[in-house]
């Protein structure tokens, strides 16, 4: 069971205050940015100083408290400066995938979708400024009215002299002010912009670190994209809050050669990593036998897994593959979360064996989690516990009857509802959807199905994705996993 909300300690008032605190108490700790060609280090002390310089430039561009700024930058020092420059000015920040140039007929569909997503976010947020690495030739059909500034453009350099005349005034930021706008991908519907306050974000950062028993001796290693909630929180904000060193690389760096992730853990004595299920599967599959000899993973004490369905077979394969590299047992901490609750709702305890349940597929399709000893994968499936609710957060499972749904007992499958300090303020510009999702402004209806067993949360699927066949419910992930085990079917 999680501890009540009252146990939350006094937190920094804002994300900017969080960085200032880190710059004073741990000025030499910070981010080490790795690329294919070089590496650089930005301490929290330097991050604080450089962010003030960038804030003066943004102020010269007209950014004021309450504005919204969109950042389209890759992982790196410039991203970190721009991010906290917006926070110093009391503006909210929305991070989207970096874009290059204009959309042309020869561009990929993903590039076109990227501009669509940018246009949607810019219009919903009425953004004042868009910051990119290279100049953007925004196509007229996307109707993006926000001013665009490129860090590699002479216009940005020319702001240096003008910005020197801009003294940063003392801005009174309330903990309830909006700090983060998390844009959803729209994979399960229309893209949305989720508004999080400073208090929402800081509460969740404390909740995660407390469950993970973080100390200042920990070192994070990550490749996660910073436009994703898991990446932004676990890879960028979390190290500053807990004042720990963190090694960062771009997602493309990892995807080109997955083993570089664990090589960084080995080289820098990383203790904390986090990634979706597919990443652990990919690195276990793609790391060559010859590469194992150069990996020393005994420093790694925690591997957080979340953001998508988790397979027990994946965790086993990872542990088996890297056991010869000194990897400790029971390092996995499965989690459940969503951007509407900042990032994390429930989390497995550190150093304990992952809890699993072997369930009858027939009973699960009828809404009841009945444990079985059946070995046949067509008749049974294994689910992993995503741990208990983080301290200060409450979980309940509710029958699928709208606002009048009934609270369900242990072992009964229903919609997962969440209450706690990290819940979003709402969907920007979508008041009706906000009211429908936040029941009485206290309970978040997640749209995910699952069940509780002795305080442990097991997730069975997403409400919108459930396939109903002759009155029985089936999760797409389960069908994919069964199909993947059939000889000749490509994964």
Per-residue model confidence as pLDDT tens digits over 47-67: 999 999 999 999 989 999 999
The alpha helices in 194-306, defined as continuous H runs, are 198-211, 229-231, 238-242, 251-256, 259-268, 277-286, 289-292
Q: Considering only CA atoms, which of 236, 204, 463 is closest in space to residue 343?
A: 204
User: Is 287 within 8 Å of 247 (Cβ atoms)?
Assistant: no
Cα 261 to Cα 197, 272, 276, 336, 353, distances in angstroms: 32, 12, 14, 23, 24
Class of residue 52 by CB neighbours under 10 A (exposed 0-12, middle 13-18, buried 19+): middle
Class of residue 230 by CB neighbours under 10 A (exposed 0-12, middle 13-18, buried 19+): buried
Banded pLDDT at 320 (limits 50, 70, 90): very high
Of 151-165, 259-273, 333-347, which gets the smallest average pLDDT? 151-165
- Can you tell me the distance from the alpha carbon of 31 to that of 354, in angstroms, rounded to the nearest whole number? 30
pLDDT for 408: 94
- Can you tell me the distance from the alpha carbon of 196 to that of 430, in angstroms, rounded to the nearest whole number? 14
Considering the chain, what percentage of its residues have pLDDT values greater than 70? 85
User: Is 90 within 8 Å of 161 (Cβ atoms)?
Assistant: no
**Does the structure show a pLDDT above 90 at 430?**
yes
User: Is 431 within 8 Å of 437 (Cβ atoms)?
Assistant: no
Of 134-143, 168-177, 189-198, 262-271, which gets the smallest average pLDDT? 134-143
CA torsion sign for 92, 98, 103, 108 is negative
User: Is 393 within 8 Å of 417 (Cβ atoms)?
Assistant: no
- Can you tell me the distance from the alpha carbon of 468 to that of 473, in angstroms, rounded to the nearest whole number? 5
**Does the structure show a pLDDT above 80 at 470?**
no
Q: What phi and psi, each to the nearest 5 degrees, are found at residue 415?
A: -80, 140
- Per DSSP, 322 falls in state T
Per-residue model confidence as pLDDT tens digits over 353-369: 999 989 888 888 788 88
Structure tokens belonging to residue 171? 């801005």
State the average pLDDT over residues 209-232: 96
Structure tokens belonging to residue 112? 């076109």
**Does the structure show a pLDDT above 70 at 135?**
yes
State the average pLDDT over residues 458-486: 56
**Does the structure show a pLDDT above 50 at 473?**
no
Q: In terms of C-beta distances under 8 Å and separation of at least 24 residues, what long-range contacts does 481-490 make, across chains too?
A: 481/311, 481/381, 482/377, 482/378, 485/377
Q: To the nearest 10°, the Cα dihedral for 49, 52, 56, 57?
A: 70
Banded pLDDT at 483 (limits 50, 70, 90): very low
pLDDT for 370: 84
State the average pLDDT over residues 308-312: 90
pLDDT for 452: 96
**Does the structure show a pLDDT above 80 at 245?**
yes
**Does the structure show a pLDDT above 90 at 244?**
yes
Range of 267-276, 359-368, 454-463 with top mean pLDDT: 267-276
Helices and strands (DSSP H and E) totals, the chain: 16, 25
User: Is 53 within 8 Å of 23 (Cβ atoms)?
Assistant: no
pLDDT for 417: 95
Higher pLDDT, 332 or 170: 332
Coil/strand/helix, residue 11: coil
Output the average pLDDT for the chain. Answer: 87
Banded pLDDT at 481 (limits 50, 70, 90): very low
For the full predicted model, state whether its pTM sits above 0.85. Answer: yes
**Does the structure show a pLDDT above 60 at 490?**
no
Class of residue 204 by CB neighbours under 10 A (exposed 0-12, middle 13-18, buried 19+): buried
**Does the structure show a pLDDT above 70 at 83?**
yes
- Can you tell me the distance from the alpha carbon of 148 to that of 126, in angstroms, rounded to the nearest whole number? 13
Neighbours of 268 (CB within 10 A): 17
State the average pLDDT over residues 428-439: 92
Q: Considering only CA atoms, which of 232, 153, 167, 162 is closest in space to residue 200?
A: 232
């Amino acid at each position: 069971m999680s501890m009540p909300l009252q146990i939350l300690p006094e937190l920094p008032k804002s994300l900017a205050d969080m960085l200032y605190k880190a710059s004073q108490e741990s000025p030499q700790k910070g981010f080490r940015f790795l690329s294919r060609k070089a590496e650089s280090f930005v301490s929290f002390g330097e991050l604080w100083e450089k962010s003030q310089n960038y804030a003066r430039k943004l102020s010269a561009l007209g950014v004021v408290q309450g504005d919204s700024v969109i950042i389209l930058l890759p992982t790196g020092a410039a991203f970190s400066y721009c991010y906290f420059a917006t926070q110093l000015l009391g503006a909210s920040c929305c991070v989207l995938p970096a874009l290059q140039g204009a959309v042309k007929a020869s561009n990929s569909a993903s590039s076109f979708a990227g501009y669509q997503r940018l246009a949607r976010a810019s219009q919903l947020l009425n953004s004042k400024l868009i910051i990119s690495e290279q100049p953007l030739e925004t196509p007229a059909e996307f109707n993006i009215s926000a001013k665009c500034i490129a860090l590699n453009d002479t216009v940005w350099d020319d702001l240096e002299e003008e910005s020197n005349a801009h003294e940063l005034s003392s801005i009174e930021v309330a903990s309830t002010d909006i700090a983060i706008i998390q844009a959803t991908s729209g994979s399960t519907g229309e893209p949305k912009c989720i508004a999080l306050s400073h208090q929402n974000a800081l509460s969740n950062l404390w909740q995660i670190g407390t469950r993970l028993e973080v100390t200042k001796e920990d070192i994070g290693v990550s490749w996660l994209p910073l436009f994703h909630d898991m990446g932004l929180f676990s890879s960028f904000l979390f190290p500053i809050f807990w004042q720990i060193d963190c090694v960062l690389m771009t997602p493309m760096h990892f995807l080109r050669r997955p083993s570089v992730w664990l090589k960084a853990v080995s080289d820098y004595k990383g203790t904390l990593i986090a990634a979706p299920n597919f990443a652990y599967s990919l690195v276990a599959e793609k790391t060559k036998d010859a590469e194992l000899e150069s990996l020393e993973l005994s420093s790694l004490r925690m591997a957080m897994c979340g953001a998508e369905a988790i397979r027990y077979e994946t965790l086993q394969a990872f542990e088996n593959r890297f056991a010869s590299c000194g990897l400790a047992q029971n390092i996995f901490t499965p989690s459940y979360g969503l951007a509407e609750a900042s990032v994390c709702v429930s989390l497995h305890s550190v150093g304990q064996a992952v809890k699993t349940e072997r369930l009858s597929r027939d009973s699960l399709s009828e809404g009841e989690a009945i444990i079985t000893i059946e070995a046949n994968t067509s008749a049974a499936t294994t689910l992993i516990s995503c741990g208990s609710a983080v301290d200060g957060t409450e979980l309940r499972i509710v029958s699928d009857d709208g606002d009048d749904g009934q609270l369900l007992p242990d072992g009964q499958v229903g919609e997962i509802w969440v209450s706690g300090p990290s819940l979003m303020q709402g969907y920007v510009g979508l008041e009706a959807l906000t009211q429908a999702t936040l029941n009485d402004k206290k309970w978040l209806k997640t749209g995910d199905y699952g069940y509780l067993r002795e305080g442990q949360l097991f997730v069975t699927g997403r409400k919108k994705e459930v396939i109903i066949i002759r009155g029985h419910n089936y999760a797409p992930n389960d069908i994919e996993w069964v199909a993947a085990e059939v000889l000749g079917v490509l994964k």
